[in-house]
Structure 1
Amino acid sequence: MQNFTVDESFWELFPEAEINILVLNNIQNRANDDEGKYEQLLADAQIKAKEYLTEEVFSQNPVVAQWREAYTKFKTKKGARSSIEALMKRIDQGKPLGSINPLVDIYNSISLEYALPAGGENIQKIDGDLHLGIAQGGEGFLPLGAEVDEPALPGEVIYYDQTGAVCRCFNWREAQRTMLTDDTTDAVLVIEALNPEQKARAQKAILRLKELVDQEFAIDSTAHVINANQPSATL
């Protein structure tokens, strides 16, 4: 049995944080004949995301500024930004978000609709337990689309397992090894929140995420709330 645990070192940096996870089993992550519904889902979410971009200067929007502030608390690779900033930048620049696969499309739509970082991993590709914590440095990491290992930096916030890093700088970069693909049958989806206002949105987001995946895959997924008082859950 695998667990997801958020290490004490993480809570020392972000004591108010809350990590919502959703565990899915026995799914078929392939688009059916009605592929247009995923594009529509993303298009609707992109319209809702614009509500969070109220400032003329992009970096002054709270959804961007709060995560940039969080990234000053730990070691990062130059240019690393939260996944929600990357999505919001596309919205700000008028660049549509394309369809990838059902799971990724669904969590991207939730990420945009609620302005929170979201991601997902293939449970069957995770080596042992999954952790969120502070890197020792040197944890192996092959990013999506790369051919050269880019190990984690000492002091960096990472998701990791016994093999190495799974995501770097929260959800900034995803590893090829555990990425969600058409062949994924068991997955864990993650929504990150750092302060009370974000947590309020995350509580709504995880319910909506569960509703969408349960409907899409005809399953009953399992949601868990991870915080300093309850730092672990079963995958």
Structure 2
Amino acid sequence: MKYTIDKSIFKLKPNIKFGIIVGHNIINSETSDEDERRLRNAENKMRNEVSQEQLRELHNVKNYREVMTETGINPNKYPPSVEAMFKRIIKGGRLPVINALVDLCNAISIEQGISLGGHDLKDIHEDLEVRFSRKGDIFLPFGCEEYEDVQENELVFTSGNVVQTLKWVWRQSELGKITLDSSDIFFQLVGFEYEKDSSLYNAMEDIESLIINRFKGNCKKYLVDIHNNSIEF
């Protein structure tokens, strides 16, 4: 299977980078006390260090919003999912406990301030792309059973004509959601630097460690950027 970034996206933001991790044989579980503790600690740290006024100036959030604006998506109406999550936390809310893999990925997303999406590969049957939508693309909203048509020329993450994430990093589909039965997962992270101690580098290292040590699986990591816009896995 291939994963490709439309080259036009690098014209908008030449330094944008997509970190990909493909995990296999993952043994997910209910959330343990230790798992939840990491999530709550991440929430508390963000709450103590970031004000609501500073949220949109966080490095990655600011860049996500810029890309969305450049592609015609209003980030005030359709904020990056991490911005909405961070806002909820800063205002005093707590994320619900779902399962160990989802909760720990949320913890990493908060710790590193980065967009991090996991997609169950059992629901993905065609090549993956980050591209602009075209006629015939469809989307299954979370919790729904009927597909919706997708507006043309909108930045999306898609498998064939089935959109996995609508309006780029705004909303994930019902397809690919991670459950206790999920074992083969495609992780997509979006950052703007990739060197030691950058948010993208650290988040990828953390996910790799979780897959191997917490969930007893294995994985491969890839970096997709302006110099290499496509991979096969």
* TM-score normalized with structure 2 length: 0.88
What's the CA shift string for 1:155-211, capped at 9, x where partnerless?
Answer: 2211111241111122211111222222212101111013679x9221111111211
> For residue 175 of structure 2, what is the aligned residue in structure 1?
177
Contact 1:118–1:171 (8 Å) recurs in 2: no
Q: Following the alignment from structure 1 to structure 2, what is the Cα–Cα distance between the partners of residues 130 and 166?
A: 9
Runs of 5+ consecutive residues of structure 2 not aligned to the other structure: none
**2:32 is matched by which residue type in structure 1?**
E
SS at match of 1:97: coil
**2:21 is matched by which residue type in structure 1?**
L
Structure 1 184/130 Cα, relative in aligned 2: closer, same or farther at 3 Å? same
Structure 1 55/174 Cα, relative in aligned 2: closer, same or farther at 3 Å? closer
> For residue 149 of structure 2, what is the aligned residue in structure 1?
151
Runs of 4+ in 1 over 6 A off after TM superposition: none
> For residue 133 of structure 1, what is the aligned residue in structure 2?
131
Superposition RMSD in Å: 2.4
Q: Following the alignment from structure 1 to structure 2, what is the Cα–Cα distance between the partners of residues 46 and 157?
A: 29
Structure 2 counterparts to residues 6-155 of structure 1, below 5 A: 6-31=5-30, 35-50=32-47, 53-54=50-51, 56=53, 58-76=55-73, 79-155=77-153
What's the CA shift string for 1:102-149, capped at 9, x where partnerless?
Answer: 221121111100001110111121121111111125510011123553
**1:119 is matched by which residue type in structure 2?**
G
Q: Following the alignment from structure 1 to structure 2, what is the Cα–Cα distance between the partners of residues 52 and 221?
A: 33
**1:173 is matched by which residue type in structure 2?**
R
What's the CA shift string for 1:53-90, capped at 9, x where partnerless?
Answer: 25646445545433322211113377211121011101
Q: Following the alignment from structure 2 to structure 1, what is the Cα–Cα distance between the partners of residues 126 and 62?
A: 35
Structure 1 149/212 Cα, relative in aligned 2: closer, same or farther at 3 Å? same
Percent of aligned positions that are identical: 26
Contact 2:15–2:192 (8 Å) recurs in 1: yes
* TM-score normalized with structure 1 length: 0.87
Q: Following the alignment from structure 2 to structure 1, what is the Cα–Cα distance between the partners of residues 29 and 55?
A: 35
The one of 209, 212, 223 aligned to 1:211: 209
**2:50 is matched by which residue type in structure 1?**
L
**1:150 is matched by which residue type in structure 2?**
E
**1:3 is matched by which residue type in structure 2?**
K
SS at match of 1:214: helix
Structure 1 137/10 Cα, relative in aligned 2: closer, same or farther at 3 Å? farther
Q: Following the alignment from structure 1 to structure 2, what is the Cα–Cα distance between the partners of residues 92 and 101?
A: 22
